[in-house]
Structure 1
Amino acid sequence: MTLLSAAGSHVGKVRSNNQDSGYAGEHLFVVADGMGGHAGGDVASALAIQSIAHIDRAFENASDAAQALRSALLEANQELAETVFEHPELAGMGTTVSGLVRVGDRLALAHIGDSRVYRWRDGELTQVTKDHTFVQRLVDSGRITAEEAAVHPRRSVLMRVLGDVDLTPEIDIEVLDARPGDRWVLCSDGLSGYVTEQRVGELLDEHPDAAAAVEALIDESLDHGAPDNVTVVIVGIDDSGSSSIGAPVMVGSAAKPLSYTAAVSKRSVRLPSLLLHPLTATSVPADEHFEPESEEFLRELIAEDERRKVRRRITWSVGILLVAGLLVAALAAGYQWTQSRYFVGVSNGQVAIFQGVQQGIGPFPLSSVYFESDIDVDDLSPFSRQRVESTINADDLPEALSIIERLTAEVER
């Protein structure tokens, strides 16, 4: 039987613990990516998933489901705050959450953070959620491109999360239409940050079975070095009112007993990973962290980004000037070399010595008349006249003068 929905999670090739969690049930599907590094990211995502799972039930309409999902996220936020109160060593932990509840041909969505929800429809993959990150703010304002955001030094700054960092977080909720044949992908940035959307769409097309598609997507992230945890939940849509996979499944940290003991933040990298993925597998991505969405902080980050752009412009300008200087120097040296050359040719019907070379650069000649003799070209023998009209090269000025003397002697004879 081809499964409509499935969930999977992998720790990746660099991190020592999985801070992601996922859930796939009868009606509810959720992905959470823990924040706070080794001191609580796994706890945050697991608590959030376990707190939200109780709304995996049938709803009369999608609007009710969306409100229930939002309320569940706020309850999870409160539980995280209470956990930090009991375990102060977890202060600052938090988690992103992206969840869907299916109600017939409608989907209720709730989202906070930078985990993502994609819709694959008619062979086209579309990002449904918007990242609550600082770099997304810069993209929205036109300050940087999406490509620049992917490598921006502040890409790990989250503006909204669940946790003890914000008592009343703003949560995006939406009701979406679902069609038979749709496939919805919920994932942590361990997938979206390292596998292109085009490749995600290709793998969904290649694997109709949800479990096989989840495995293929995770493997693709591993093939790119998987420096971060990666969690994927796929929700398939058919004519039935449910996308159930049978018994509810929890993956990642939510599938394990909670531990409040800090783990080592990274593990050693094996030689095969070092050789195959030198740029990604050898370093742990920066831990995501929350910053309050205050105007003062945004202004500070934007000002810092402007300074970074100015530094980048200065670097490029200096580089361009250096290249231009080298080019000018090369052209000057080349021109000086041409002016050390001489040849004998015709000027105004007379035999003349030219300084430079016969070739030019476009309309600009690289030679000029150095000396015009009294020898009329028509007075030369046919052979000598042909040679002069075709120009006679000389290694230096004395050799050119010597050629003029020989031609003079020929005319006088």
Structure 2
Amino acid sequence: MVFEGSSVAISHTGKVRSNNQDSGYSGANLFVVADGMGGHAGGDVASSIAIHRMEPLDQVYASTDDAQASLQAAATTAAGDLIRAAKERPELAGLGTTLSAIIMVDDYAVIGHIGDSRIYLYRDDALTQITADHTFVQRLVDSGRITPEEARYHPRRSVLMRVLSDMDADPELDMFVMHTQPGDRWLLCSDGLSGVVDEAHILKAMRMGAAPGRTADNLLKQALDGGAPDNVTIVLVDVGGQHAISSGTPTIVGSASNPANITIPAARSTLSNWLHPVRQAANEPSHFEPAPEYLEELIEEDRRRAKRRRLGWIAGMLVVLAMLGVAAFAAYSWTQTRYFIGADDDSVVIFQGVQQNIGPITLSTPLRDTDILLADLPEYQRLSVERTITARSLSDAEAIVARLQAGADAITSQQTQTPLPTPVPTPTEGAG
């Protein structure tokens, strides 16, 4: 049965690179994205070889098993082509490509994947990443050593662990089959999109419900607005749904759309490299498939980086704690320049500090007990002392105490000058 759906394929060089090493294919039953690697020309050749080896798979299959077998066989043939290309043209040594493909068989999607291009499924208002990146940083994420957010900005995020290349005649693809249903939307893309536009914004574009062409244009615009440092390739596939069924006429985009014109550029002069450093950097490989010993070096480097992060975090915390300690000491020192008058049991006391406490920490200490009894003070002075009286300085506190002493003396003097009442004689029994 021919797949019933609507699809689109677009590819863009991006804002930094001078050539497009991506390739994409959208047909009747086959949908593919390939992201080439290997320098200015090697990536072009690699992704083109992969796409043109995939093209014959765009047909009707009797079963998903047949489709899987054909997909694996085509990938193996493509790897052989890459090996031969590197032998015949030594300047292409190190070329390779990612490959993410879907073959629609009845109500199923047969998926083959290697590298860090991605396949997403938008279903029931949710976006799910179907493929796993075959990258060094993804291993770090899987092992819990870094978070997915840290992986987006990790300096080794382009180091590939598995890829179609001239180094492996028997590539290991992730192969699996998923049931698909009307209304599903499948997105295949190179990391030129997924590395710039996060899943939240991809999901927002999907939710708009526009046709595949408009949705792909929207996603491409977001990648370009984000700087598009790499080539961007998007293949979007709708299963049934509201959009018109496509004719199935194959669409090939990127370097595979014009493979005959791929040429090896002459080496740039030192002066040209100096005048155009950004353009030179743009033509460096966007991916790198490392040798095993290099991976060991990367793992050790990542351990050192993690250790430096921990030491930096600890040092930062110590600096913050030190600053808090200095601030706390300065604040406490300021409180010790303040004074107030208060009560301690039954007498008036001069306190150094402020009246507030911080939890169990007391910000004041008794400086001098004045020996003025609260009971000797007038009522209004006694209440003021019990509520505490703030002093501007120690001399001000002494002046306040002097006034309290005067008040106490006045009360004592009044009590001394007041005559005692004359006792009334008690009548004696039998007096005549």
The alignment status of 1:196 with 2:198, answered yes or no, reads yes
User: Residue 15 of structure 1 aligns to a residue in which SS?
Assistant: coil
What is the deviation of 1:397?
Answer: 2.0
Q: How does 1:5-404 map to 2 (within 5 A)?
A: 5-238=7-240, 244-256=246-258, 257-262=260-265, 287-292=286-291, 294=292, 297-404=294-401
Identity within the alignment, % = 49
RMSD: 2.6
Amino acid at match of 2:358: I
Question: In structure 2, how many angstroms separate the alpha carbons of the residues matched to 1:199 and 1:285?
Answer: 29
8 Å CA contact retained: 2:23, 2:33: yes
User: Residue 165 of structure 1 aligns to a residue in which SS?
Assistant: coil
Amino acid at match of 1:56: D
What is the deviation of 1:283?
Answer: 8.9
Question: In structure 1, how many angstroms separate the alpha carbons of the residues matched to 2:213 and 2:221?
Answer: 12
- How many residue pairs were aligned? 396
- Unaligned 5+ runs, structure 1: 270-281
Question: In structure 2, how many angstroms separate the alpha carbons of the residues matched to 1:43 and 1:311?
Answer: 41
* Higher Rg of the two aligned structures: 2
Question: In structure 2, how many angstroms separate the alpha carbons of the residues matched to 1:46 and 1:168?
Answer: 19
Amino acid at match of 1:46: S
Question: In structure 2, how many angstroms separate the alpha carbons of the residues matched to 1:388 and 1:91?
Answer: 92
User: What is aligned with 1:277?
Assistant: none
Question: In structure 2, how many angstroms separate the alpha carbons of the residues matched to 1:94 and 1:286?
Answer: 10
User: What is aligned with 2:418?
Assistant: none
8 Å CA contact retained: 1:43, 1:260: no
What is the deviation of 1:351?
Answer: 1.1
8 Å CA contact retained: 1:25, 1:244: no
What is the deviation of 1:374?
Answer: 1.5
User: Residue 98 of structure 2 aligns to a residue in which SS?
Assistant: strand
8 Å CA contact retained: 2:75, 2:171: no
8 Å CA contact retained: 2:116, 2:132: yes
User: What is aligned with 2:414?
Assistant: none
What is the deviation of 1:328?
Answer: 0.8
8 Å CA contact retained: 1:55, 1:69: yes
8 Å CA contact retained: 1:40, 1:262: no
Question: In structure 2, how many angstroms separate the alpha carbons of the residues matched to 1:258 and 1:53?
Answer: 19
Question: In structure 1, how many angstroms separate the alpha carbons of the residues matched to 2:48 and 2:360?
Answer: 74
Amino acid at match of 2:348: V
- The 1:35/1:106 distance shift into structure 2, 3 A limit, reads same
What is the deviation of 1:202?
Answer: 2.5
What is the TM-score with the length of structure 2 in the denominator? 0.85
Question: In structure 2, how many angstroms separate the alpha carbons of the residues matched to 1:394 and 1:208?
Answer: 74
User: What is aligned with 1:412?
Assistant: 409
What is the deviation of 1:361?
Answer: 0.8
What is the TM-score with the length of structure 1 in the denominator? 0.89
8 Å CA contact retained: 2:53, 2:78: yes
- The 1:4/1:393 distance shift into structure 2, 3 A limit, reads same
8 Å CA contact retained: 2:40, 2:285: no
User: What is aligned with 2:426?
Assistant: none
Question: In structure 1, how many angstroms separate the alpha carbons of the residues matched to 2:130 and 2:297?
Answer: 29
Question: In structure 2, how many angstroms separate the alpha carbons of the residues matched to 1:298 and 1:289?
Answer: 11
User: Residue 397 of structure 2 aligns to a residue in which SS?
Assistant: helix
8 Å CA contact retained: 1:228, 1:284: no
- The 1:66/1:244 distance shift into structure 2, 3 A limit, reads farther
What is the deviation of 1:375?
Answer: 0.9
8 Å CA contact retained: 1:8, 1:231: yes
What is the deviation of 1:387?
Answer: 2.8
Question: In structure 2, how many angstroms separate the alpha carbons of the residues matched to 1:383 and 1:268?
Answer: 84
8 Å CA contact retained: 2:41, 2:262: no
- The 1:397/1:283 distance shift into structure 2, 3 A limit, reads farther
Question: In structure 2, how many angstroms separate the alpha carbons of the residues matched to 1:117 and 1:25?
Answer: 16
What is the deviation of 1:323?
Answer: 0.5
Question: In structure 2, how many angstroms separate the alpha carbons of the residues matched to 1:363 and 1:345?
Answer: 19
- The 1:92/1:40 distance shift into structure 2, 3 A limit, reads same
8 Å CA contact retained: 1:340, 1:396: yes
Deviations 1:63-86 (A, max 9, x none): 111111111111111112212222
Deviations 1:105-139 (A, max 9, x none): 12221111000111112222111111111111112
What is the deviation of 1:258?
Answer: 3.5
Name whichever of 82-91 and 106-115 sits farther off. Answer: 82-91
